[in-house]
């Protein structure tokens, strides 16, 4: 232990970490991969040897310090090793999203000037070959799976396997081995370790450069935070190019020395999860949601006794589960009932999902519904939230084991310096902070403040218990005339958690109070109407129905009540609302093709309604042009009632910023 | 007609097959060369499936000779055909619906298992080693056909396109020299057809199996096959390279009706 402890100080690159593991825990499993139906295992010693062979092969291909090497494919051991092999030589790996189309792939390869591309299979090779003439820097294309590539005759296309065989043979020469050792030692922690291209949803994708020492420092903090060790196992199924995979699997795996298991294929990941039984896991909220939906359907199909048992046990879970998970006092009867239910339902359920051994699971990326989150927590899954960014090398905040909630993302992660600017933007300095955008100094300067903080572009605030709450994109956040913070998306999300509300647009920036325009969900409200003898002929008629107004009013009331309990948001309760006479539609440009409301456009288009919301009118009319699906235009005229809402007394501006 | 290159694997000479008064095949001769993809096409009821049934010994023709591997054979039973390296798939999928994909493919290894039932029941020693070996072959097929995700799924629960693939997998597990495919793409959508075509070509090229296939999708037939034989009302009306057959007057007439 003391030897390993002493060595850690100098292990400031992933290559050096690998070498230390090969020496310190050489027999522990490092990688697993399911191939031909069987899990194959490589120990840290094996991985070190394989990676050295690969690195030697890359030297012979002319890869040198500072060069870039792109990696395109799914989570395969050899693709991970290619990263480390490049890092051994001080070259910079650039993982690329495997599902990018040829053009996107070319853009990244072009921008990063990759001299070698490591691909998984024929599909990726074909993509690279199709854009080859745009890539003058490209010298060689390597591939992992040879299937279908037998009669490709491109001269600089070769299998990783033969490259590694050559490298292995060359390393028999002790001079060559010593040369490789000295190359590994020559790379400094401050050198670029990896370039991760952002997905580019907000403009052109940028190459985030991370250094070895910072990456490792960040991973080391969180490994200690979640007490990860070489006894842990994670299933590596997230895209290689995504910061989440590079952090949660690669960086933390190499720091803690835990085992990274690669699924057989994307289609089998759910089954592989069950076979591996990871102890550390990440999934975005929509994956958890899909799992729960599938589970509920299966339960509905089960026999009456099983359904009854499931319901009883879930009642117990709802009552005591989260309290037990958060370490709150629970009476002995509750504990007994929970223990029995664990034996009968939760245990088998977690086993079926592959969650039996999970000690720590994270979710992040979007808001997670309170019920969904509570379900997993209450059956004993230690599910937590984190908030992160590629520029931070993931962790900005993370919830601690005993203080978990669905509506906040936790206190700052260890050694992260987090601040909220007066206009509400979240800014941070973190141990893993990026060095800069690759070949884009202007963008780097834009992303940083003068005193070196990273601007996230997200607006948020701290809750009294120290957890960060992200409310909206900073540019969308405004203030009421009173100075009250107003985050439209935050209010809208609360409304949209109700099945009756499909879409909502909250307005209030620079106004006296918050008002909302609501789109009902035609399917669920229509269903409700059928069951309550409410007749209607069209969406417009249903939307104007007084009983529907009553229904929505109750929902708005619930949102207001929830807002009133939050000191920062109590003043942003909805005072007036109306139900829109038409559905917001992408054909009319009101929402994007991915169903995001284009708030500005909607505000202009429905200006008469907004005017009505603020001038005290009891109804407002709108005449607007609409586009039918076949492209014809029509006129829609509608009048909608405007409803006043009582507001709940909150601790108004109790913690005024 | 171009003479087949290479050795003849199987030849059918003057075969006639009738059921009572119905003549399914009359006086048909053709051959299949080693390593080729040979298509048998023709309108409905032309006798294509009967022809395959004759080749693998399910039907016994009243007249004619069949020579396989240079050996003329008389009344051969289907299991003998299987033992001699002839495998097939069926027009209507014929799998064990309640068994998993892997088990279905494993049944294709049945003839290759040498240990008797006692050893196998014990699952011990040499029988275990043998099973591990067979399992590996099956896994390679699973990998080849890209059906890892349904390895443990009972085939009855699978969509039709995948069942077809499993059936091909079972035939491949026999490591056949001659593979008979009866409408491998029937009822498939375009993407499934493309996948299946790729598997057939790769089976032929990488696994070295000679293939005889019946198929209605003429586009597929023309792309895949080396030579095409055309049957109509039990008679052979054309035989040759895809391009020759495509231009053949008699073939056009058989498919589209005679032009007057």
Interface contact flag, A36 B139, Cβ < 8 Å? yes
Best residue of B101, B103, B138, B149 to probe chain A, by most A CBs closer than 10 Å: B149
User: pLDDT tier at A92 (50, 70, 90 boundaries)?
Assistant: very high
pLDDT at A653: 44
Contacts with B105 from chain A: Cβ below 8 Å: none
**Which among A67, A366, A391 has a CA at the least distance from the CA of A198?**
A391
Question: What is the spatial distance between Cα A159 and Cα A307, in angstroms, rounded to a whole number?
Answer: 53
In what order do the strands lie in the sheet containing A468-473? A417-420, A425-429, A454-462, A468-473
Asked if the model's pLDDT at residue B40 lies above 50, the reply is yes
| pLDDT bucket at B36, cuts 50 / 70 / 90 | very high
Assign 3-state DSSP to chain B and report helix, strand, coil percentages, each to 5: 40, 25, 35
Task: Please compute the mean of the pLDDT values over residues A501-526 and round it to a whole number.
Answer: 90
Give the pLDDT band of residue A656 (cuts 50, 70, 90): very low
Distance CA B12, CA B30 (A): 5
Q: Do A36 and B202 touch (CB under 8 A)?
A: no
Confidence of residue A200 (pLDDT cuts 50, 70, 90): low
CATH code for the part of the protein at A2-280 = 3.40.50.12780
Give residue A260's pLDDT. Answer: 97
User: Chain A: nearest CA to B139, how far in angstroms?
Assistant: 5
The share of chain B scoring above pLDDT 90, in percent, equals 55
CA neighbours closer than 13 Å in the CB half-sphere of residue A619: 10
Cβ contact B139–A267 (<8 Å):
no
- Give the tokens for residue A100: 């990018």
pLDDT of A193 above 60? yes
- Of the pLDDT bands very low, low, confident and very high (cuts 50, 70, 90), residue A570 is confident
Residues of B in contact with A264 (CB under 8 A): 148
pLDDT mean over B47-74: 88
Q: Which residue of B has its CA nearest to A267?
A: B149
C-alpha to C-alpha distance for B25 and B235, rounded to whole angstroms: 6
> Which chain A residues are within 8 Å of B136, Cβ to Cβ?
36
CB contact under 8 A, A265 and B140: no
Chain B residue numbers with beta carbons less than 8 Å from the beta carbon of A36 are 136, 139-140, 142-143
A590 touches chain B (CB under 8 A): no
**Residue A657 confidence (pLDDT) above 50:** no
Q: Which chain A residues have a beta carbon less than 8 Å from that of B151?
A: 37, 268
Q: Which of A213-227, A564-578, B176-190 has the highest mean pLDDT?
A: A213-227
Q: Chain A partners of B202 at a C-beta cutoff of 8 Å? A: 148
Question: Does any CB of chain B come closer than 8 Å to the CB of residue A301?
Answer: no
Please report which confidence band the pLDDT of residue B260 belongs to, taking 50, 70 and 90 as the band edges: low
Q: Tell the residue number behind the tokens 């057989």, with chain if given.
A: A264
Q: How confident is the model at residue A3 (pLDDT cuts 50, 70, 90)?
A: very low
CB atoms A271 and B140 under 8 Å: no
pLDDT digits (tens, 9 = 90+) for B124-181: 778 888 888 999 999 999 999 999 999 999 999 999 999 999 999 999 999 999 999 9
- Cα separation, A114 vs A137, in Å, equals 6
Q: Over 60: is that where the pLDDT of A651 sits?
A: no
For residue B152, the chain A residue with the least C-alpha distance is A271
pLDDT at A652: 46
Maximum average pLDDT range among A19-23, B3-7, B247-251: A19-23
What is the rounded average pLDDT of the residues A448-463? 92
By residue count, chain A amounts to 657
Is a pLDDT exceeding 80 seen at residue A557? Answer: yes
Q: Which CATH architecture has domain A282-473?
A: 3-Layer(aba) Sandwich (3.40)
Q: How many CB pairs under 8 A join A and B?
A: 25
Please give, rounded to a whole number of angstroms, the shortest distance from the CA of B257 to a CA of chain A.
Answer: 41
pLDDT of res. A654 = 42
- Residue A24's pLDDT is 95
- The Cα of A144 is separated from the nearest Cα of chain B by a number of Å equal to 15
* Rounded distance between C-alpha atoms, residue A643 and residue A622, angstroms: 17
The arithmetic mean of pLDDT across residues A196-220, rounded, is 86
What distance in Å separates residue A526's CA from the closest CA in chain B? 34
Q: For chain B, give the mean pLDDT.
A: 89
User: Does the predicted interface ipTM exceed a cut of 0.85?
Assistant: no
Query: Is A264 in the B-facing interface, judged by CB distances under 8 Å?
Result: yes
Band (A477; pLDDT cuts 50, 70, 90): confident
Predicted TM-score (pTM) of the model is 0.84
* Element housing B230 (H / E): strand B227-232
Q: In this structure, are residues A422 and A412 in contact, taking their beta carbons and an 8 Å threshold?
A: no
Nearest chain A Cα distance for residue B233, angstroms: 40
Percent of all residues in chain A with a pLDDT value above 70, rounded to a whole number: 96
Q: Are residues A478 and A508 in contact, defined by beta-carbon separation less than 8 angstroms?
A: yes
Contacts of residue A90, Cβ cutoff 8 Å, sequence gap at least 6: A64, A65, A66, A183, A186, A187, A191
Do residue A37 and residue B148 have CB atoms under 8 angstroms apart? yes
The answer to whether A352 faces chain B, any CB pair under 8 Å, is: no
Residue tagged 């607007």 (tokens): A624
Q: Do A264 and B148 touch (CB under 8 A)?
A: yes
Q: Which of B139, B202, B206 sits opposite A37 (nearest CB)?
A: B139
Q: Where are the domains of chain A?
A: 2-280, 282-473, 477-644
Nearest CA distance, A246 vs chain B (angstrom): 26
pLDDT at res. A370: 82
Distance from CA of B105 to the nearest CA of A (A): 14
- Compare all CA atoms of chain A with the CA of B146 and give the residue at the minimum distance: A265
B214-230 confidence digits (pLDDT tens): 998 888 899 999 999 99
**Interface probe, candidates B135, B143, B165, chain A, greatest A C-beta count within 10 A:** B143
Q: Which residues pair with A74 in a beta bridge?
A: none
Is the model's pLDDT at A655 over the cut of 50? no
pLDDT tens, position by position, A106-153: 999 999 999 999 999 999 999 999 999 999 999 999 999 998 898 899
Domain ranges of chain B: 1-85+176-260, 95-175
What residues in A contact B142, CB-CB < 8 Å? 36-37
> Which of A410, A405, A360 has its CA nearest to residue A381?
A360
The nearest alpha carbon in chain A to B143 belongs to A36
Average pLDDT over residues A338-361: 95
Considering the domain A477-644 in this protein, what is its CATH number? 3.30.300.30
Assigned token pair, B103: 């088990």
Q: Does domain B1-85+176-260 have CATH number 2.40.40.20?
A: no
- Identify each DSSP E strand in A77-227 by its residue range: 92-96, 116-119, 140-143, 157-159, 192-197, 207-211
Return the residue of A nearest to B151 by Cα.
Answer: A37
Q: A267: which chain B residues are within 8 Å (Cβ-Cβ)?
A: 148-149
Q: What is the pLDDT of residue B21?
A: 85
Closest approach of chain B CAs to the CA of A265, in angstroms?
A: 8
Q: If you average pLDDT over residues A461-485, what whole number do you get? A: 88
The C-alpha of B136 sits at a distance from chain A's nearest C-alpha, in angstroms, of 7
Contact B136 A150 (CB under 8 A): no
From chain B, the residues in CB contact with A149 under 8 A are none
pLDDT at B32: 95
Torsion angle, CA of B151/B154/B155/B156, rounded to 10 degrees? -160
Q: How far apart are CA A643 and CA A591, in angstroms?
A: 25
Higher pLDDT pick, A387 / A638: A387
- Mean pLDDT value across residues A244-265: 96
- Residues of B within 8 A of A148 (CB-CB) are 202
Distance from CA of A41 to the nearest CA of B (A): 17
> Residue A582's Cα: distance from chain center in Å?
33
When the pLDDT of each residue in chain A is averaged and rounded to a whole number, the result is 90
Residues in B whose CB is inside 8 Å of some CB of A read 102, 135-136, 139-140, 142-143, 146, 148-149, 151-152, 202, 206
- Identify all chain B residues contacting A273, using CB atoms and an 8 Å cutoff: none
């Amino acid at each position: 232990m003391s030897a390993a402890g002493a060595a850690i100080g100098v292990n400031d690159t992933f290559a050096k970490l690998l070498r230390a593991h090969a020496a310190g825990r050489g027999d522990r499993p490092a990688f697993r991969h399911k191939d031909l139906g069987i899990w194959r295992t490589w120990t840290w010693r094996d991985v070190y040897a394989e990676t050295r062979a690969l690195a030697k092969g890359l030297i012979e291909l002319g890869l040198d310090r500072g060069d870039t090497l792109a990696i395109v494919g799914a989570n395969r051991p050899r693709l991970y090793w290619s990263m480390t092999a490049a890092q051994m030589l001080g070259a910079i790996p650039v993982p690329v999203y495997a599902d990018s189309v040829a053009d996107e792939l070319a853009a990244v390869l072009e921008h990063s000037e990759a001299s070698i591309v490591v691909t998984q299979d024929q599909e990726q090779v074909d993509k690279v070959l199709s854009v080859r003439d745009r890539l003058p820097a490209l010298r060689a294309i390597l591939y992992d799976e040879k299937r279908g590539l037998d009669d490709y005759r491109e001269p600089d296309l070769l299998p990783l396997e033969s490259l590694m065989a050559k490298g292995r043979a060359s390393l028999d020469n002790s001079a060559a081995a010593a040369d490789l050792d000295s190359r590994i030692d020559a790379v400094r922690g401050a050198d670029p370790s990896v370039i991760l291209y952002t997905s580019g949803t907000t403009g052109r994708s940028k190459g985030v450069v991370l250094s070895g020492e910072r990456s490792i420092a960040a991973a080391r903090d969180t490994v200690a935070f979640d007490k990860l060790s070489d006894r842990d196992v994670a299933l590596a199924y997230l895209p290689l190019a995504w910061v989440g995979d590079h952090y949660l699997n690669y960086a933390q795996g190499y720091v803690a020395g835990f085992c990274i298991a690669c699924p057989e294929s994307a289609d089998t990941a759910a089954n592989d999860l069950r076979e591996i039984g990871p102890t550390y896991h990440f999934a975005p909220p929509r994956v958890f949601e899909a799992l729960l939906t599938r589970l509920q359907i299966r339960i509905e199909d089960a026999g009456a006794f099983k359904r009854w048992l499931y319901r009883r046990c879930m009642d117990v879970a709802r009552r005591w589960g989260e309290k037990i998970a958060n370490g709150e006092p629970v009476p002995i009867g509750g504990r007994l009932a929970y223990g029995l239910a664990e034996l009968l339902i939760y245990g088998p359920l977690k086993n079926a999902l592959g969650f039996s051994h999970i000690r720590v699971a994270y979710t992040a990326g979007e808001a997670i519904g309170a019920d969904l989150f509570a379900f997993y927590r209450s059956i004993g899954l230690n599910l937590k939230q984190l908030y992160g960014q590629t520029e931070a090398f993931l962790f900005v905040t993370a919830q601690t084991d005993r203080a978990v909630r669905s509506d906040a993302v936790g206190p700052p992660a260890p050694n992260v310096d987090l601040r909220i600017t007066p206009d509400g933007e979240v800014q941070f300095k973190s141990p893993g902070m990026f060095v800069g955008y690759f070949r884009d100094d202007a963008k780097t300067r834009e992303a940083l403040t003068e005193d070196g903080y990273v601007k996230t572009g997200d607006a948020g605030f701290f809750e009294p218990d120290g957890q960060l709450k992200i409310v909206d994109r900073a540019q969308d956040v405004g203030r009421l005339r009173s100075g009250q913070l107003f985050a439209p998306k935050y209010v809208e999300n609360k409304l949209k958690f109700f099945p009756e509300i499909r879409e909502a647009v909250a307005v209030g920036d620079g106004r006296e109070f918050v008002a909302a325009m609501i789109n009902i969900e035609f399917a669920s409200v229509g269903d409700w109407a059928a069951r309550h003898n409410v007749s209607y002929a069209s969406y417009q008629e249903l939307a104007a129905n007084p009983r529907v107004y009553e229904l929505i009013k109750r929902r708005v009331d619930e949102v207001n009540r929830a807002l009133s309990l939050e000191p920062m948001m109590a003043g942003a309760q909805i005072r007036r609302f109306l139900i829109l006479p038409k559905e917001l539609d992408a054909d009319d440009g009101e929402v994007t093709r991915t169903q995001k409301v284009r708030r500005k456009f909607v505000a202009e288009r429905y200006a008469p309604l907004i005017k009505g919301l603020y001038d005290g009118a009891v109804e407002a009319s709108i005449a607007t042009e609409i586009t039918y699906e076949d492209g014809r235009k029509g006129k829609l005229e509608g009048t909608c009632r405007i409803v006043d809402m009582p507001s709940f007394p909150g601790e108004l501006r109790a913690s005024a910023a | 007609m171009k003479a087949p290159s290479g050795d003849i694997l199987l030849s059918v000479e003057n075969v006639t097959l009738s059921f009572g008064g119905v003549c399914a095949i009359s006086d048909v001769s053709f051959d299949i060369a080693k390593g080729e993809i040979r298509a048998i096409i023709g309108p409905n009821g032309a006798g294509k499936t009967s022809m395959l049934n004759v080749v693998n010994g399910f039907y016994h023709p009243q007249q004619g000779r069949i020579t396989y591997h240079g050996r003329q054979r008389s009344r051969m039973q289907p299991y003998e055909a299987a033992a001699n390296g002839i495998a097939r798939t069926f027009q209507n999928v014929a799998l064990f619906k309640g068994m998993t994909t892997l088990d279905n493919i494993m049944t294709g290894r049945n003839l290759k298992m040498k240990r008797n039932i006692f050893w196998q029941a014990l699952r011990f020693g040499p029988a275990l080693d043998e099973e591990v070996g067979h399992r590996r072959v099956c896994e390679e097929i699973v990998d080849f056909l890209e059906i890892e995700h349904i390895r443990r799924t009972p085939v009855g629960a699978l969509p039709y396109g995948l069942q077809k693939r499993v059936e091909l997998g079972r035939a491949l597990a026999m490591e056949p020299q001659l593979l008979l495919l009866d409408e491998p793409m029937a009822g498939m959508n375009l993407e499934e057809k493309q996948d299946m075509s790729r598997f057939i070509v790769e089976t032929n090229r990488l696994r070295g199996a000679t293939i005889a296939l019946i198929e209605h999708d003429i586009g597929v037939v023309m792309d895949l096959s080396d030579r095409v034989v055309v049957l109509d009302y039990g008679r052979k009306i054309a035989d040759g390279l895809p391009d020759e057959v495509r231009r053949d007057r008699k073939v056009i007439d058989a498919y589209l009706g005679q032009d007057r």
